[in-house]
Amino acid sequence: MPGIKKTRIGTVLSNKMDKTVVVSVDRQVKHPMFKKYYTKRNKFKAHDAKNECGIGDRVLIAECRPISREKCWTVTHILEKAVV
């Protein structure tokens, strides 16, 4: 469906690249046999046009067209700034 974009909420791990941040998205998954929950972590490179994200910020990222070889997400909102 062309109008619906995936969104994820995650934490910024790195902002050392120009206009790019690395965002870690955690999710809880139930083990099929042992029925325990464990954490799975995915890392996404997201476009930060104004370089305003810092390490530890909680951000909302949305899927977009490919901007580079590994970057096809953009930062839409900074939900919570990290305490420095």
Q: Is 31 exposed, middle or buried (0-12, 13-18, 19+ CB in 10 A)?
A: exposed
| Mean pLDDT on 27-36 | 97
**Residue 11 binned pLDDT confidence (cut-offs 50, 70, 90):** very high
The predicted model scores a pTM of 0.89
Topology given in CATH for the domain delimited by 7-80: OB fold (Dihydrolipoamide Acetyltransferase, E2P) (2.40.50)
d(C-alpha 65, C-alpha 84), whole Å: 33
Give the pLDDT band of residue 16 (cuts 50, 70, 90): very high
Tell me the C-alpha distance between 51 and 5, whole Å: 23
- Domain locations in the chain? 7-80
Residues 30 and 48: their CA atoms lie apart, in Å, by 33
Q: How confident is the model at residue 1 (pLDDT cuts 50, 70, 90)?
A: low
